[in-house]
A and B are shown apart, each in its own frame.
Chain A
Amino acid sequence: RKEVEQDPGPFNVPEGATVAFNCTYSNSASQSFFWYRQDCRKEPKLLMSVYSSGNEDGRFTAQLNRASQYISLLIRDSKLSDSATYLCVVNLPEYGNKLVFGAGTILRVKS
């Protein structure tokens, strides 16, 4: 089983739609969780950290479910500029806090 798994998509949604991505992780000791965004031919950039109580940043909401070992990202009122690949990232505490990346979920927002 991969350490971090994501649905590769692509998710094709119209502008204004709400879209959600899930990411599952295999290591129950993981403590830190993140969503990164990567535009085509660009480097990944931190979108948001995921806290155990869930957190929101504008149109973006991240949630953590420790019991089922998954994190989610919800995007409301999608914009064309949200089109990107979204990477789920999880730490491995017993391996020097190594960060493991999922392969990414592609989102395409269309007008």
Chain B
Amino acid sequence: DVKVTQSSRYLVKRTGEKVFLECVQDMDHENMFWYRQDPGLGLRLIYFSYDVKMKEKGDIPEGYSVSREKKERFSLILESASTNQTSMYLCASREVTGHGANVLTFGAGSRLTVL
């Protein structure tokens, strides 16, 4: 089974702090994604990467950046955390199956609180 590991399950940070959220997958998938999930809004795509050193903005990239230096690792960076970035952050890795389906496997999530 694909395993996607997010190193921090719960974080509490102060406004203005720099925050790193790490995500590692162990199945050699090329595609990786960062979402945030908020009540009533569902999952919203922040950034994604289809290959090493490649990154694309999702729907809500403002206030975030990412890094993909190695295939298995995709990091989300909050340069200067703000209270409206308090959320659940979910990393996912994608398998594209033979018949073209797109199956996402998620990490357990990182719940960030910004005070």
Contacts and interface: CB of A to CB of B under 8 A. Distances in A.
Instruction: From B35, B56, B101, B105, name the one whose CB has the most chain A CB atoms within 10 angstroms.
Output: B101
Contact of B108 (A4, A43, A87, A96): A43
B101 A101 contact: no
Nearest to B6: A43
A97 B43 contact: no
What does DSSP make chain B's interface, helix, strand, loop or mixed? Answer: strand
Nearest to A101: B43
Interface in B83-115: 90, 100-109
B61 to A, nearest CB: 13
A103 B40 contact: yes
A44 B37 CA distance: 11
B81 to A, nearest CB: 22
A8 to B, nearest CB: 7
Given A43-B90, A44-B106, A96-B50, A103 B41 contact: yes
Contacts, number: 46
A72 interface: no
A98 interface: yes
A31 B100 contact: yes
Interface of B: 35, 40-43, 45, 48, 50, 56, 58, 90, 100-109
26 contacts: A4-B42, A32-B101, A42-B109, A43-B106, A43-B107, A43-B109, A44-B90, A44-B104, A44-B106, A45-B106, A46-B103, A46-B104, A49-B103, A87-B42, A87-B43, A89-B104, A96-B56, A97-B102, A98-B45, A98-B48, A98-B58, A101-B43, A102-B42, A103-B40, A103-B41, A104-B42
